[in-house]
């Protein structure tokens, strides 16, 4: 099957940003001019693709570089700002060279044990994620945002949340000018591939949200909105961890 057939088709048009976001983007651009560039790792996943759309819609960055093996076809006024590059997460030196010249990085890299197996999951969500973060640090990227998971804890008895927690801890200790970890609960989206447990959970979601409105999940677009908005507004702390409720509150307050 050709690469064109497999291309991910996106549109940066009609992305809802909100008043707070638009103001932050305007102030960010006034302060930095047209000199800030962003890169996205894992841009074809459910959150990553939304990050790409919000970065382009924000008009805050001169260039948005995506590192992916799957080509992206995007429509919108700022589609010309999108640069696509192939990626090899095992080639650390090349990653550092490719990441140089970018001020902001967004990591949405991830897979599942069901899709990649236990070893494959660890290689992608741990090894590749840290290879990318370390390369960003060496390339002098100042602002690093990563999409993690609720319950992430390096001391967790559960493999998935332990791996996520290990990566989060390492990223926060790397010394970025600003490092932000986002830990959403269930990611609400229309997945190209959805497991049976996810399908069942989606059916139960409306009821669960009535009981725990800010703890159960967040839309992929809302998570991406929060990641981009947080990266362009003035930083209050060097390191931040945002849970599901924090993500939703940030979004609601700035519409």
> Looking at residue 17, what is its pLDDT?
96
Are 43 and 10 in contact by the 8 Å Cβ rule? The answer is no
Whole-angstrom Cα distance, residue 166 to residue 129? 11
- Within 13 Å of residue 14, how many CA atoms lie on the same side as its CB? 3
- The answer to whether 160 is a known catalytic residue is yes
Per-residue confidence (pLDDT) for residue 1, from 0 to 100: 37
The per-residue pLDDT for 53 is 96
Residue 4: the pLDDT is 45
Looking at per-residue pLDDT, the higher value among 255 and 205 belongs to 255
Question: Phi, psi at residue 178, to the nearest 5°?
Answer: -145, 125
Of 174, 155, 55, 173, nearest in space to 108 by CA: 55
C-beta of residue 83 within 8 angstroms of C-beta of residue 124: no
**Strand-pair category, 217-219 with 186-188:** parallel
Whether residue 255 has pLDDT greater than 70: yes
Read off the pLDDT band of 3 (50, 70, 90).
very low
| Structure confidence at residue 135 as a pLDDT band (50, 70, 90) | very high
Q: Is 85 a catalytic residue?
A: no
Among the options 53, 81, 137, 164, which is catalytic?
A: 164
Buried b (16+ CB within 10 A) or exposed e, 230-254: bbbbebeeeebebbbebbbebbeeb
Put residue 101 in one of left, alpha, beta given phi > 0 → left and psi -120 to 50 → alpha: left
Whole-model pTM above 0.75? Answer: yes
Least confident of 5-9, 157-161, 223-227: 5-9
pLDDT of residue 195: 57
Contacts by 87-94, CB closer than 8 A, 24 or more apart: 87/41, 89/124, 89/127, 89/128, 89/131, 89/132, 90/128, 90/131, 92/131, 92/134, 92/135
- Tell me what the mean pLDDT of segment 126-144 comes to: 98
List pLDDT tens digits, range 24-44. Answer: 999 999 999 889 999 999 999
By the 8 A CB rule, do 68 and 45 touch?
Answer: no
pLDDT of residue 189: 65
Query: Above 80 in pLDDT, residue 205?
Result: no
pLDDT band of residue 132 (cuts 50, 70, 90) is very high
- For residue 185, CA distances in Å to 90, 205, 214, 245 come to 29, 11, 9, 9
Residue 6 confidence (pLDDT): 86
Catalytic residue among 160, 209, 214, 233: 160
């Amino acid at each position: 099957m050709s690469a064109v057939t497999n291309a991910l088709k996106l549109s940066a048009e009609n992305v809802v940003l909100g008043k707070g976001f638009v103001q932050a983007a305007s102030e960010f651009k006034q302060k930095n001019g047209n000199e800030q560039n962003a890169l996205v790792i894992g841009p074809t996943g459910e959150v990553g693709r939304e990050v790409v759309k919000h970065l382009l819609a924000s008009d805050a960055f001169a260039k948005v570089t995506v590192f992916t093996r799957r080509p992206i076809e995007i429509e919108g006024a700022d589609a010309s700002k999108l640069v696509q590059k192939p990626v090899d997460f095992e080639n650390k030196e090349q990653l550092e060279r490719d990441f140089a010249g970018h001020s902001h990085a967004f990591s949405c890299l991830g897979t599942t044990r069901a899709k990649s197996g236990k070893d494959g999951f660890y290689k992608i969500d741990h090894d590749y994620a840290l290879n990318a973060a370390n390369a960003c640090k060496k390339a002098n990227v100042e602002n690093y945002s990563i999409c993690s998971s609720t319950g992430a804890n390096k001391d967790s008895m559960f493999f998935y949340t332990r791996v996520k927690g290990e990566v989060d801890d390492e990223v926060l200790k790397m010394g970025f000018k600003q490092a932000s970890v986002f830990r959403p609960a269930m990611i609400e989206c229309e997945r190209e591939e959805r497991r049976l447990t996810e399908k069942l959970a989606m059916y139960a979601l409306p009821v669960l949200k009535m009981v725990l409105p800010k703890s159960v999940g967040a839309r992929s677009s809302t998570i991406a909105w929060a990641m981009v908005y947080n990266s362009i507004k003035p930083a209050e702390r060097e390191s931040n961890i945002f849970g599901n409720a924090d993500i939703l509150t940030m979004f609601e307050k700035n519409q």
